[in-house]
């Protein structure tokens, strides 16, 4: 099996993982989660989003969370910014990277960010320009690359179109996101190939939700294509408020365990990560969905 020589994981737990929680999660818990993740060796953390608090109340404490983080050298902190208003609020908190997020499905774009795909690109363009002028790296997320909760199957050509439009406005990296976790390896590979028509291998990442239990297989399928950057979420937390029924991202524990088993270095301490997953799930009063987390916890309990 041919695998990339390195791998980068972005833990999106504090943002994607928590955004869909119905009960308010205190800012200090979110800050504590970021601190624990960086202590466990994560070098990239997606912290929060500067979106409308009416749409996503859980992220209303974005500035407080960003301000509360004691930054660790070598760690990069990203935030979501859907428009100029969000970007202007975000820059105060000095993110290393911002994320504009669009979709390959028109219906999902409307439900998630209240505009068409074409309008979203118009909104992103000044955000990208302003960020790059300030030397802030710009990532784009393309949601619903395989399937949409409102439109059903999504053709790779739709992914290619959004990747092309994002490239044209200067987005530096695109994340290929299976928002509702319906993808299977060949489908996800086709979506990734569509993004690769406009982006280099070094400038794409995978963001796979695990609703149908395929996210780890989809990660391996993309690793085999040479894709080396992935979004993961500690304990498998997460979901999108505008994709009902979709579960969390692939668990960071599961991906780290697989990568270590493949002989790849992640720089992440798996035991520490398992403890973090248990800690945040205890706060949220649930079990981690990560199988690796459950297995390692059970093994520790037997000792
Ligand atoms: P809108 O209503 O079209 O915006 O929302 P608007 O420009 O018409 O403004 C309406 C009101 O919102 C105004 O306030 C604005 O000030 C305010 P009012 O005058 O009524 O009091 N507003 C804002 N407030 C705070 N921050 C802002 C902001 N913008 C406007 N940035 C908007 C457009 C995008 C803001 C809205 O639709 C929104 O917030 N959507 C939330 C989207 C979201 O967070 N979704 C989840 C994250 S994406 C995701 O999870 C997918 C991903 O993980 C990849 C995958 O898995 O697919 C990334
Ligand atoms: Mg997501």
222 has catalytic annotation: no
List, in order, residues 6 or more apart from 51 with CB less than 8 Å away: 59, 80, 82, 86
| Nearest ligand (C-alpha, residue 241) | 1
The separation between CA 238 and the C-alpha centre of its own chain, rounded to angstroms, equals 9
Summarize the confidence of residues 221-243 as an average pLDDT: 94
Bridge partners of residue 9, in order along the sequence: 230
Q: Name the band, by pLDDT with cuts 50, 70 and 90, for residue 213.
A: very high
**Ligand 1 center to residue 1 CA distance, Å?**
42
pTM of the complete model beyond 0.85? yes
* DSSP letter assigned to residue 14: I
**pLDDT tens-digit map of 140-177:** 999 999 999 999 999 999 999 999 999 999 999 999 99
**pLDDT tens-digit map of 50-83:** 999 999 999 999 999 999 999 999 999 999 999 9
* DSSP letter assigned to residue 164: H
**pLDDT tens-digit map of 78-133:** 999 999 999 999 999 999 999 999 999 999 999 999 999 999 999 999 999 999 99
Alpha-carbon distance of 22 to 30, in angstroms, equals 15
**Ligand 1 center to residue 291 CA distance, Å?**
34
Nearest alpha carbon, ligand 1 atom 37: 113
């Amino acid at each position: 099996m041919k695998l990339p020589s390195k791998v980068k994981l972005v833990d999106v737990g504090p943002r994607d993982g928590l955004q869909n929680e119905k009960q308010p999660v205190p800012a200090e818990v979110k800050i504590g989660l970021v601190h624990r993740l960086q202590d466990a060796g994560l070098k990239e953390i997606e912290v929060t989003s500067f979106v409308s608090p009416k749409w996503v109340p859980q992220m209303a404490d974005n500035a407080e969370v960003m301000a509360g983080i004691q930054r660790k050298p070598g760690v990069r902190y990203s935030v979501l910014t859907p428009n100029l208003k969000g970007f202007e609020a975000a820059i105060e908190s000095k993110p290393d990277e911002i994320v504009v997020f669009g979709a390959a499905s028109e219906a999902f774009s409307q439900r998630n960010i209240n505009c068409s795909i074409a309008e979203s690109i118009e909104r992103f363009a000044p955000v990208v320009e302003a960020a790059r002028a300030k030397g802030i790296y710009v990532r784009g997320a393309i949601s619903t690359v395989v399937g949409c909760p409102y439109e059903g199957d999504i053709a790779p050509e739709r992914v290619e179109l959004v990747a092309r439009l994002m490239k044209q406005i200067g987005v530096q990296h695109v994340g290929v996101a299976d928002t509702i976790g319906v993808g299977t390896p060949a489908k996800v590979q086709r979506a990734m190939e569509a993004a690769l028509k406009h982006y280099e291998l070094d400038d794409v990442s995978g963001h796979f939700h695990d609703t149908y239990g395929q996210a780890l297989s989809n990660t391996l399928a993309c690793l085999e294509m040479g894709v080396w950057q992935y979004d993961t979420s500690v304990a498998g937390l997460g979901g999108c408020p505008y994709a009902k029924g979709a579960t969390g991202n692939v668990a960071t524990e599961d991906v780290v365990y697989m990568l270590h088993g493949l002989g790849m270095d992640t720089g992440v301490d798996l035991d520490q990560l398992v403890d973090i997953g248990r800690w945040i799930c205890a706060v949220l009063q649930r079990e981690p969905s990560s199988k690796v987390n459950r297995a390692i916890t059970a093994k520790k309990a037997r000792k």
